[in-house]
Structure 1
Amino acid sequence: MAAAPTPTLVLLPEWGAGHLMSMLESCKRVLLRGGRAFSITLLVMRPPTAQATSQVEEHVRREAASGLDIRFHRLPAVDPPADAAGVEDFIARYIQLHAPHVRDAVAGMPCPVAALVLDLFAAPMVDVARGLGVPSYVFMSSTGAMLALMLHLPVLHRVVTVGFDELDGEVHVPGLPPVPPECLPCPVVDKKSPNYTWFLRLGDSFMDATGIIANTADGLEPGPLAAVADGRAVPGRPAPPVYPVGPVLSHGSSASKKDSSSEPPHQCVAWLDAQPPASVVFLCFGSMGWFEPAQVVEITAALERCGHRFLWVLRGPPSSKSGAGAPDGSEHPTDANLEELLPEGFLRRTEGKGLVWPTWAPQKEILAHPAVGGFVTHGGWNSVLESLWHGIPMAPWPLYAEQHLNAFELVADMGVAVPLKVDRKRDNFVEAAELERAVRCLMGEEGRKAREKAAEMRDVCRKAVEKGGSSDAALQRLSEALHDGAVPPTI
């Protein structure tokens, strides 16, 4: 008798590395944890920009050579919406236009489908899965706090009758301390925005999924995860089971650039080798983080005055910054021209004590280095997880998306960061005196509690993914649920 075909997990990620690689790495753990009881089929949407397309193809080439049972199905191209009112509105609408092609791809699978795993922006496609009779899982690449907020947002929408930017008071998100309105994610501040409307819809769609896979751990975010599990996020309606399988550290584009053991260390790492332990503050702002010249001047003044050793990844403005930029908001910075961006004499005055690096840098290797004592970060969740994995305390400087909520959670709930006051009305501008204060706090005695808490969270992260840890147990429950639910699609 012929062996039964291996069920496949069908993945539909958003094209950004933080979404695509986080989902893929998490589902690869399911594949490996299940004793190769599954294969993975990645549905590849053509991104709306040439730069994003090139990066996706790089990921596809690397994973195709990994030796794992991962297949790739390219969906037909669709025309992007021309009238999107914002980044989130564009992404959600562009993904939703692929719904008929996703349905055809899943229906045409030559093997049983264990589940359709959807990016958070693709959550409305739970309807596609339901129509085909296959389970659906939403992959949450952000925090448990963001998950609790998205599930609770329809409740807040009814209770809070004004825009959150007009609210006099705090916002109550189950599982979190009271949240100041200025700490809410960018897409939900303005109730009149189409971005807000999409987030309402996305939160509702989460509730219709078979389950939610989250790149976090019980010990990292016990409050928000418990609030979802015990029904406080959506009173009167049980939420789907949540599987916290993290931290899953996305390789992203850095995996192809990382130096092999036979090559000399990256120049940033070599510079760190000559610095004392825990003496360097690392400043890096993600794949889309860059600053206008006026902000660069403030940063240089702060770094000179605080006197701490520093490694600063400084990027230049995107080449597309002549208009609206990329429609999905993915304007990537260019390599910085340090002579143009930095004040005259800064490099000379800080020589030996600081390094300004103008292009891509190996962030995980840098955070793992014993010379690094603190991290000034945009607060993207992948960067936060990398920092916590190595026990590095943070000063979060949120720039976009959900990062303001991340910063609030890191300071007020986890205690692994020191506060940094940003002016949202001035495009998240930070004065030199404020950055100087935050760096002194982060690297000095005032930051001791944050350092101790970050070291605790390092242990939490590592124990969670060990055999028998909370995330390993969640992965086992997820693998069993997927195995039990695998069915041939019903057309």
Structure 2
Amino acid sequence: MELMFIPSPSISHLIPMVELAKLLTERDDRLMNKIFIMKQPSDSKVSAYIESLNSSSISNRIQFIDRPSEDEPTISFDFFSFIESKKPQLKDVLSKLTLVESSSNTSRVAAVVLDMFCTPMIDVANEFGIPTYIYYTSGANFLGLIFHIQTLHDEHNQDIVAYKDSDTDLVVPSFVNKVPAKVFPYGLFDNSIFFINQVRRFKETKGIIINTFMELEPFAINSYFNAKTPLVYPVGPIMNLKGETHEIQEPQDGFDVMKWLDDQPLSSVVFLCFGSMGSFEKDQVKEIAYALEHSGCRFLWSLRKPPPSGGIASPSDYTNLEEILPQGFIERTQGIGKVIGWAPQVAILAHSAIGGFVSHCGWNSMLESLWFGVPIAAWPMYAEQQINAFEMVKELGLAVEVKMDYDNSKQIIVTAKEIERGIREVMDPDNEIRKNVKEIKEKSRKALRDGGSSHSSLDRLIADLMGNIAH
């Protein structure tokens, strides 16, 4: 039985999709998985990642369909027009697959598993009568929020844009607490029709696979059981824990991060890292530096250089850290802290010296931090990260707040005082969140074991996929 996976054209969405394909392959040897690759113009990261997988021990039951891109590099990139433009390529691939299968009497494509942003491809799957599933790489809470916004719009004639920049708290079925409109992603206000259309298309699919687990988001997951939504399969946490990455880099100036951590006391270091797209301008960098220095905590800070404005590049490493940091900061913090560029996040979070994580609250980063039992200080920046931060701080008690409603597009400066308070809280050995995180660490592992909630959910998903072939 074959599954066709269609990730979004970005490395941050490709990696979770590959991990899901691996999980399904390991669970059931009847599954053959194909991954349809769409690459943005001039994106070398995706190619490097696929090449690294092909040269490793990835299962021969996972195959990448990587068509050459005819697109010329451009400064502006329209993500959704790009997805639409790849429909003919997918149609051609599925045509050839179904032709081969009908002539050889082999099992046909049982389902197309789509990244949450690839809903236009539902049209192609429908042409072939193939069921579709969404792989939702954010949390169940945020999925519940966008379902609610679509319901408000379509059934109650309410426009979410009315709440932009308001102090209103809203009742959302997937949240225990009322949700402040100020932690809604700005994209929900600026592109509300896109999210509403996206959710309408979600409802055309046969199921939604979510990278979460029942013990982490019980209220949100249970809110779907009586809702007008497709079946939901929480199968997480799905993470890349083996260190496979598209950004393996050499130690800077001979500095070995892991060796330095080996020399630090247990749970003594606060780790600051803001994701593959996270960076700050000079004024904000200085506030972080002052906060770290005044806190007196040991620290490991992944500091990235913002890309030139107007482009589509990612942050890069500084060649000279002294050009951005306060004068004398490196000398004054010598022995207790290190400032680095790109960081091997999973390896660092796994280290026993790490006692807290100042994070942008990307969903993958949240899952990794909880897996290793590291408390979080929430400093979201963009996308759905504000909602993730609200959930971790207010709903689940697994994080402290640095600035929950921060949005890097607003050019607000978070003060050293606010940052220092968050660092001190997350590193406090008596803070209640430390106990909560330790408990969820054990539950995250139990969920994946035989008989665990995610293990059982994956079994139900595979049974449903097999049923597609039977019918």
TM-score (norm. length: structure 2): 0.90
Distance 2:382 2:364 in 1: 14
Structure 1 residues 377 and 449: alpha-carbon distance in aligned structure 2, compared to 1, 3 A threshold: same
State how 1:1-80 maps to structure 2 within 5 Å: 7-34=1-28, 36-48=29-41, 50=42, 53-65=43-55, 66-68=57-59, 69-75=61-67, 77=69, 79=71
SS state of the match for residue 228, structure 1? coil
Q: CA deviation at 1:155?
A: 1.8
Q: Could you say which residue in structure 1 is the equivalent of 2:371?
A: 389
Distance 1:96 1:382 in 2: 27
Q: CA deviation at 1:165?
A: 1.0
Distance 2:350 2:340 in 1: 18
Which has the higher mean CA deviation after the structures are superposed, 245-254 or 55-64?
A: 245-254
Q: Could you say which residue in structure 2 is the equivalent of 1:417?
A: 399
Distance 1:25 1:162 in 2: 36
Q: Could you say which residue in structure 2 is the equivalent of 1:211?
A: 207
Distance 1:161 1:284 in 2: 32
Distance 1:74 1:370 in 2: 40
Deviations 1:368-390 (A, max 9, x none): 11111100001111111110001
Runs (5+) with no aligned partner, structure 1: 1-6, 232-237, 260-264
Structure 1 residues 401 and 256: alpha-carbon distance in aligned structure 2, compared to 1, 3 A threshold: closer
Distance 1:32 1:397 in 2: 36
Q: Could you say which residue in structure 2 is the equivalent of 1:398?
A: 380
SS state of the match for residue 311, structure 2? coil
Q: CA deviation at 1:107?
A: 2.5
Root mean square deviation, CA, Å: 2.5
SS state of the match for residue 63, structure 2? strand
CA contact under 8 A between 2:275 and 2:360: conserved in structure 1? Answer: yes
State how 1:140-289 maps to structure 2 within 5 Å: 140-157=136-153, 158-160=157-159, 162-176=161-175, 177-188=177-188, 190=189, 193=190, 195-231=191-227, 238-250=228-240, 254-255=244-245, 267-289=256-278
Deviations 1:346-370 (A, max 9, x none): 0110000001112x22111111111
Q: CA deviation at 1:127?
A: 2.6
State how 1:450-469 maps to structure 2 within 5 Å: 450-469=433-452
Q: CA deviation at 1:432?
A: 0.5
**Of 336, 341, 346, which residue of structure 2 is paired with 1:364?**
346
Q: CA deviation at 1:295?
A: 0.5
SS state of the match for residue 23, structure 1? helix
Q: CA deviation at 1:16?
A: 2.2
SS state of the match for residue 352, structure 1? coil
Q: CA deviation at 1:162?
A: 4.6
Q: CA deviation at 1:161?
A: 6.2
AA paired with 2:220?
P
CA contact under 8 A between 1:44 and 1:75: conserved in structure 2? Answer: yes
SS state of the match for residue 73, structure 1? strand
Number of paired residues? 452
| Percent identity between the two aligned chains | 39
Q: CA deviation at 1:428?
A: 5.0
**Of 311, 318, 325, which residue of structure 1 is paired with 2:311?**
325
Deviations 1:263-322 (A, max 9, x none): xx981111111111111111011111111010010001101111111110111122xx1x
**Of 431, 437, 442, which residue of structure 1 is paired with 2:415?**
431
SS state of the match for residue 40, structure 1? strand
Structure 1 residues 29 and 244: alpha-carbon distance in aligned structure 2, compared to 1, 3 A threshold: same
Distance 1:361 1:277 in 2: 20
Q: CA deviation at 1:101?
A: 2.1
Structure 1 residues 229 and 103: alpha-carbon distance in aligned structure 2, compared to 1, 3 A threshold: farther
SS state of the match for residue 148, structure 1? helix
Q: CA deviation at 1:78?
A: 6.1
Distance 1:430 1:217 in 2: 33
Q: Could you say which residue in structure 2 is the equivalent of 1:341?
A: 324
SS state of the match for residue 229, structure 1? coil
Q: Could you say which residue in structure 2 is the equivalent of 1:137?
A: 133
Structure 1 residues 141 and 419: alpha-carbon distance in aligned structure 2, compared to 1, 3 A threshold: same
Distance 1:133 1:107 in 2: 12
Structure 1 residues 154 and 73: alpha-carbon distance in aligned structure 2, compared to 1, 3 A threshold: same
Q: CA deviation at 1:163?
A: 2.7
Which has the higher mean CA deviation after the structures are superposed, 421-430 or 168-177?
A: 421-430
TM-score (norm. length: structure 1): 0.86
